[in-house]
């Protein structure tokens, strides 16, 4: 076996071990998020997405296809890194899957688990009831975070969104427009 083949197999072994570690970390991630969240104030009926399973399966398939072809070093590294990134995304999605809701300390929706202290503003609340404003989706809520990020939380209905906003503003009154 050549040195190049040994290095390649070692690289593949590290990628497979990392992939397994990422997926095995899902229960610990879920436990950590729920411990930080506190008690559930209001569960949300966000569609229970199992897309994380599909992402994890496709990432595994890419990891397994790489040794079957000789793509070259750079392409192999990119494919392995992309698979690991996809596995990380799947693990983040799985950690919050089925646990969407307004909690004492967190807002959980899909891959997002946002601490209330990290929320800078809820900008749509300031202009959604203005008669001059048109095309505001009242089943979605924009959340601006302190680090400059933006999350879009989708609700199943306008009523659920209104109840969630009321619960959020009760828990964190500084977010009122």
Q: Are residues 107 and 80 in the same domain?
A: no
DSSP run (H or E) holding 102 = strand 101-103
Is residue 89 located within the same domain as residue 14?
yes
Does residue 90 share a domain with residue 14? yes
Question: Which residues, at least 6 apart from 21, have a Cβ–Cβ distance to it below 8 Å?
Answer: none
Q: Is residue 74 domain-shared with residue 142, that is, in the same domain?
A: no
Domain holding 142, by residue range, is 102-175
pLDDT of residue 158: 80
Angle between the 51-65 and 73-96 helix axes, to the nearest 10 degrees? Answer: 160
pLDDT tens-digit series, residues 142-168? 888 888 888 888 887 888 888 888 888
Mean pLDDT computed over 46-69? 84
Calpha distance 143→48 (Å, rounded): 21
Q: Residue 59 — very low, low, confident or very high, per pLDDT cuts 50/70/90?
A: very high
Burial class (CB in 10 A: 0-12, 13-18, 19+), 7: exposed
Give the model confidence (pLDDT) of 101-143 as tens digits.
Answer: 889 888 887 677 888 888 888 877 766 666 666 666 777 888 8
Q: Which is more confident, 70 or 60?
A: 60
The reported pLDDT for the residue numbered 130 is: 64
Residues 91 and 110 occupy one common structural domain: no
Contact 156, 46 (CB under 8 A): yes
Instruction: Report the predicted TM-score, pTM, of the whole model to 2 decimal places.
Output: 0.74
CB-based burial, 145-176: b 16+ in 10 Å, e otherwise:
eeeeeebebebeeeebbeebbebbeebbeebe
**Do residue 55 and residue 137 come from a single domain?**
no
The enclosing domain of 151 has a CATH number of 2.30.29.30
Asked whether residue 116 falls in the same domain as residue 153, the answer is yes
pLDDT at residue 99 greater than cutoff 70:
yes
Query: Would the pLDDT of 77 be above 80?
Result: yes
pLDDT band at 4 (very low <50, low <70, confident <90, very high): confident
What are the beta bridge partners of residue 106?
Answer: 115
Domain count, the chain: 2
Q: How far apart are CA 56 and CA 11, in angstroms?
A: 19
52-76 mean pLDDT: 87
Location of structure tokens 């950590």: 32
């Amino acid at each position: 076996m050549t040195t190049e083949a040994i290095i390649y197999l070692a690289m593949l072994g590290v990628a497979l071990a990392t992939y397994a570690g990422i997926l095995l970390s899902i229960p610990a991630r879920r436990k950590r998020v729920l411990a930080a969240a506190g008690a559930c104030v209001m569960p949300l009926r966000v569609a229970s997405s199992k897309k994380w399973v599909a992402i994890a399966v496709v990432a595994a398939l890419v990891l397994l296809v790489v040794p079957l072809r000789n793509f070259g070093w750079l392409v192999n590294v990119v494919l392995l890194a992309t698979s690991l990134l996809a596995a990380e995304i799947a693990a983040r999605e799985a950690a919050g899957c089925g646990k969407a809701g307004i909690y004492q300390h967190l807002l959980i929706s899909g891959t997002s688990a946002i601490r209330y202290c990290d929320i800078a503003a809820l900008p749509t609340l300031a202009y959604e009831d203005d008669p001059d404003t048109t095309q505001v989706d009242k089943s979605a809520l924009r959340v601006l975070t302190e680090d400059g990020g933006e999350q879009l939380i989708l609700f199943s209905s306008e009523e659920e969104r209104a109840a969630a906003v009321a619960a959020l503003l009760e828990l964190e009154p500084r977010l009122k427009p």
